[in-house]
Structure 1
Amino acid sequence: MNDEEVRPRQRFLALDTATAVMAAALMEGGKVTGEVNVRGERNHSVHVITELEGLLSDAGVSGRDITGLAVGVGPGSYTGVRIAVTAAKTLAWAWKVPVAGVSTLHALAWGGWAQGRSKLADKQATLQDGVNQWIIPVLDARRGQVYTGLFAANGEEAPVRLEPDGIRLMTSWVEELAQRLANTDESTRPEVLWFVGETELHAQAAAGLTKVLVQAVPYELEGCWVGRLGAERLLNGEQDELHTLVPNYTQLAEAEANLLRQR
Structure 2
Amino acid sequence: MTILAIDTSNYTLGIALLNEETVIGEYITNVKVNHSVRAMPAIEALMKDCSISPKQLTKIVVAKGPGSYTGVRIGVTIAKTLAWSLNIPIVGISSLEILTASVGRYFTGYISPLFDARRGQIYTGLYQYQNGDLQTIYKDQNVLTINWIDTLKSLDKPILFVGNDLPIHREVIERELGEKALFAEITEHNPRPSELGLLGKTRPTEEIHSFVPNYIRLAEAEVKWMEANQIEETK
Fold-level similarity (TM above 0.5): yes
In the aligned structure 1, how far is the partner of 2:133 from the partner of 2:27?
21
Amino acid at match of 1:258: K
Three-state SS of the structure 1 residue aligned to 2:153 is helix
Percent identity over paired residues: 35
Matched, 1:133 2:109: yes
200, 209, 212: which one aligns with 2:177: 209
Matching of residues 3-18 of structure 1 within 5 Å: 10-18=1-9
Matching of residues 96-111 of structure 1 within 5 Å: 96-111=87-102
| 1:117-158 deviations in Å (ceiling 9; x for gaps) | 7xxxxxxxxxxxxx8400000100100000100001346x45
CA gap 1:100/1:30 in 2 versus in 1, 3 angstroms: farther
* C-alpha contact 2:91 2:205 (8 A) present in aligned 1: yes
Equivalent pairs, count: 224
Amino acid at match of 2:128: A
Say what the alpha-carbon RMSD is for the aligned residues: 1.7
- Shift in Å, 1:42: 5.6
Three-state SS of the structure 2 residue aligned to 1:159 is strand
1:48 aligned partner? 39
In the aligned structure 2, how far is the partner of 1:42 from the partner of 1:152?
32
Matched, 1:144 2:110: no
Amino acid at match of 1:223: P
In the aligned structure 2, how far is the partner of 1:23 from the partner of 1:30?
20
* C-alpha contact 1:24 1:226 (8 A) present in aligned 2: no
2:58 aligned partner? 67
Amino acid at match of 2:153: A
* C-alpha contact 2:62 2:93 (8 A) present in aligned 1: yes
* C-alpha contact 2:30 2:190 (8 A) present in aligned 1: no
233, 245, 250: which one aligns with 2:211: 245
Three-state SS of the structure 1 residue aligned to 2:103 is helix
In the aligned structure 2, how far is the partner of 1:258 from the partner of 1:67?
41
* C-alpha contact 1:75 1:104 (8 A) present in aligned 2: yes
- Shift in Å, 1:262: 2.5
In the aligned structure 1, how far is the partner of 2:52 from the partner of 2:6?
17
1:195 aligned partner? 161
143, 146, 151: which one aligns with 1:176: 151
CA gap 1:222/1:132 in 2 versus in 1, 3 angstroms: closer
- Shift in Å, 1:112: 3.1
Matched, 1:220 2:190: yes
In the aligned structure 2, how far is the partner of 1:112 from the partner of 1:201?
19
Q: Which runs of 5+ in 1 are unaligned?
A: 1-9, 118-130, 182-188
| 1:12-51 deviations in Å (ceiling 9; x for gaps) | 1000111111111101125311101123426100011110
Three-state SS of the structure 1 residue aligned to 2:74 is helix
- Shift in Å, 1:225: 1.4
In the aligned structure 2, how far is the partner of 1:135 from the partner of 1:203?
15
In the aligned structure 1, how far is the partner of 2:103 from the partner of 2:33?
20
In the aligned structure 1, how far is the partner of 2:100 from the partner of 2:94?
10
